[in-house]
């Protein structure tokens, strides 16, 4: 072990002390998250320079990863219990089950509608920047990636839309609670809704038992949310560790080689953030106030590259900061982690399709072809996993459906982590925008009368 590596680790641990003091002195999580982001950028840059001097930074990053990856693992731990008890609690408290249909329908409409817009923006930006698959160099990493993609495409190319939708339906709830499928989050949502509807039926037949069920669910919600807030307190340190690893491992040479694609991707993603802001603005919601409240969630989504891991922070922010109801917050966060992801399922496959189609002489502005592409992207956005690599899965569905080869997805592997972070932040913001708009449209949920009052009436 090099003494310099040990010194770097000691410096990193010392930086946690002022961050902890800053965190404790603030009631809000946002300032501490921002401080963690800055410290991560600073120390990651130091690590990058130290690696050039021959320091064994991999050893240091292993210990830094203990904090960052450990925090992400704790968030994954929260996802299924949080989704289950929150959706269940939302259902057992409603007085009109039709409101659940309004909530889910509104959330899905925003998610899928914005994905269609994202696909169109992806097409236009790829065309404006003149992006093309021609000239991309295939190295050893890219060749290995092609083999992996060819293996994966065999698993997804034959999936029909009914099969994809069927995958949402839970078959073994214990397997889904363990997150063993890409669509496990949606499966748990469906199970929680069905379990809640059964609780409502029990309450109609036996108000006393119904009240006992509601009390049990309320206690479980309180318990899980206390656990969520306990783990959320570690967010600044998790962000600091994740950003440190990101900066330290970044290859600036690879980014420079694909600079045009990187810039085009960030422009498209930025435009979709503007679209989200416009949607909020036309509905009387201040985009400035909205983004001021949600940016800590976006920072974590950016650094973790996981929509699923961001669900707990997403839900808590929607409830506490945006004042969305727990039902809407949980539906939008859960659906948004798997369905209609603006960045991974919208922009990315659209840009890749144009990059392949233009060299083949396809007129990308042919109305039929363009409408077909957007329709395929929207439909295939169902079931995109809320973890790193979901964008590649989307490309594996869209490209073959449009009759195009998938190898281009492998040629961009060197800059994927950087762009995927921004795409994930956009995905999560799309979910929170869907929840905020749904809350605005649906309004306060009518509450179920107390069982004793219902029985008396």
pLDDT of amino acid 71: 87
Instruction: Answer with the residue of higher pLDDT: 146 or 237.
Output: 237
Q: What CA dihedral angle connects 119, 120, 122 and 124, to 10 degrees?
A: 170
Residue 453 has pLDDT above 50, yes or no: no
* CA distances in angstroms from 155 to 23, 45, 119, 390, listed in the order given: 46, 40, 24, 14
Query: What string of DSSP letters covers 368-381?
Result: HHHHHHHHHHHHHT
In whole angstroms, give the CA distance from residue 7 to residue 14. Answer: 11
In whole angstroms, give the CA distance from residue 292 to residue 278. Answer: 16
pLDDT of amino acid 134: 67
In whole angstroms, give the CA distance from residue 411 to residue 133. Answer: 9
Question: Measuring CA to CA, which residue among 447, 438, 362 is closest to residue 399?
Answer: 362
CB 235 within 8 A of CB 296: yes
Residue 456 has pLDDT above 50, yes or no: no
Task: Give the rounded percent of residues in the chain with a pLDDT score beyond 90.
Answer: 28
User: Mind listing the pLDDT tens digit for each residue in 68-124?
Assistant: 889 888 888 888 888 888 888 878 877 666 778 888 899 999 999 999 999 999 999
CB 317 within 8 A of CB 311: no
In whole angstroms, give the CA distance from residue 261 to residue 3. Answer: 40
Residue 452 has pLDDT above 60, yes or no: no
User: Mind listing the pLDDT tens digit for each residue in 187-226?
Assistant: 888 898 899 889 989 998 999 998 999 899 989 988 988 8
Question: Measuring CA to CA, which residue among 364, 427, 356, 363 is closest to residue 391?
Answer: 427
User: Mind listing the pLDDT tens digit for each residue in 125-179?
Assistant: 999 998 887 655 444 444 444 454 555 555 555 556 677 678 788 899 999 888 8
Tokens of 282: 């036309």
> Average pLDDT in the 284-290 region?
95
pLDDT of amino acid 449: 44
Tokens of 68: 């960052």
Residue owning tokens 């999936």: 159
CB 248 within 8 A of CB 48: yes
When the pLDDT of each residue in the chain is averaged and rounded to a whole number, the result is: 82
Please provide the size of the chain in residues. Answer: 457
* DSSP state, residue 360: T
Residue 424 has pLDDT above 80, yes or no: yes
In whole angstroms, give the CA distance from residue 357 to residue 360. Answer: 5
Domains of the chain: 3-442 (1.10.3860.10)
CB 374 within 8 A of CB 121: no
Residue 255 has pLDDT above 90, yes or no: no
pLDDT of amino acid 77: 87
Tokens of 194: 């069905």
pLDDT of amino acid 408: 66
pLDDT of amino acid 450: 45
> Average pLDDT in the 388-410 region?
72
In whole angstroms, give the CA distance from residue 52 to residue 78. Answer: 39
Distant-in-sequence contacts of 288-295, Cβ < 8 A, 24+ apart: 290/322, 290/436, 293/317, 293/321, 293/322, 294/321, 294/322, 294/429, 294/432, 295/30
3-state secondary structure 399-434: HHHCCCCCCHHHHCHHHHHHHHHHHHHHHHHHHHHH
In whole angstroms, give the CA distance from residue 84 to residue 421. Answer: 27
CB 242 within 8 A of CB 68: yes
User: Within 10 A of 325 (CB to CB), how many other CB atoms are there?
Assistant: 21
In whole angstroms, give the CA distance from residue 145 to residue 140. Answer: 9
Measured between its terminal Cα atoms, the distance across the chain in Å is 76
């Amino acid at each position: 072990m090099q003494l310099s590596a040990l010194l770097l680790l000691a410096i990193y641990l010392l930086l946690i002390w002022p961050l902890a003091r800053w965190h404790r002195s603030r009631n809000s999580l946002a300032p501490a998250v921002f401080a963690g982001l800055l410290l991560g950028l600073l120390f990651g840059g130091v690590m990058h320079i130290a690696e050039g001097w021959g320091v064994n930074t991999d050893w240091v990053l292993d210990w830094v990863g203990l904090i960052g990856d450990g925090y992400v693992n704790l968030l994954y731990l929260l996802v299924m219990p949080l989704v289950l008890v929150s959706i269940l609690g939302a259902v057992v408290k409603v007085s009109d089950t039709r409101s659940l249909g309004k909530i889910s329908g509104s959330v899905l409409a925003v998610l899928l509608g914005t994905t269609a817009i994202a696909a169109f923006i992806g097409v236009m930006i790829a065309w404006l920047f003149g992006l093309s698959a021609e000239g991309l160099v295939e190295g050893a990493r890219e060749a290995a990636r092609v083999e992996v993609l060819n293996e994966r495409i065999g698993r997804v190319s034959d999936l029909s839309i009914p099969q994809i939708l069927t995958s949402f339906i839970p078959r073994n709830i214990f397997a889904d609670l363990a997150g063993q499928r890409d669509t496990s989050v949606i499966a748990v949502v469906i199970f929680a809704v069905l379990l809640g509807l059964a609780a409502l039926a029990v309450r109609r037949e036996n108000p006393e038992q119904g009240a006992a069920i509601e009390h049990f669910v309320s206690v479980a919600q309180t318990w899980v949310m206390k656990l969520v807030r306990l783990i959320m307190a570690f967010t600044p340190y998790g962000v600091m560790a994740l950003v440190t690893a990101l900066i330290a491992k970044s290859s600036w040479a690879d980014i420079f080689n694909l600079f045009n694609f990187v810039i085009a991707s960030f422009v498209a993603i930025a435009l979709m953030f503007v679209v989200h802001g416009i949607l909020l603005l036309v509905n009387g919601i201040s985009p400035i106030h909205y983004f001021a409240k949600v940016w800590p969630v976006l920072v974590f989504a950016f650094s973790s590259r996981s929509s699923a891991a961001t669900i707990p922070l997403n839900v808590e922010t929607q409830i506490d900061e945006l004042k969305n109801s727990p039902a809407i917050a949980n539906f939008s966060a859960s659906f948004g982690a798997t369905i209609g992801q603006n960045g991974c399922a919208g922009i990315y496959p659209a840009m890749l399709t144009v990059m392949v189609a233009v060299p083949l002489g396809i007129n990308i502005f042919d109305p039929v072809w363009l409408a077909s592409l957007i329709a395929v992207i929207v439909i295939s956005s169902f079931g995109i996993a809320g973890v790193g690599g979901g964008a590649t899965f989307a490309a594996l569905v869209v490209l073959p459906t449009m009759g195009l080869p998938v190898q281009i997805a492998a040629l961009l592997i060197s800059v994927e982590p950087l762009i995927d972070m921004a795409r994930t932040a956009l995905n999560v913001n799309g979910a929170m925008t869907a929840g905020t708009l749904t809350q605005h449209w649906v309004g306060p949920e009518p509450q179920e009368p107390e069982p004793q009052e219902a029985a008396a009436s």
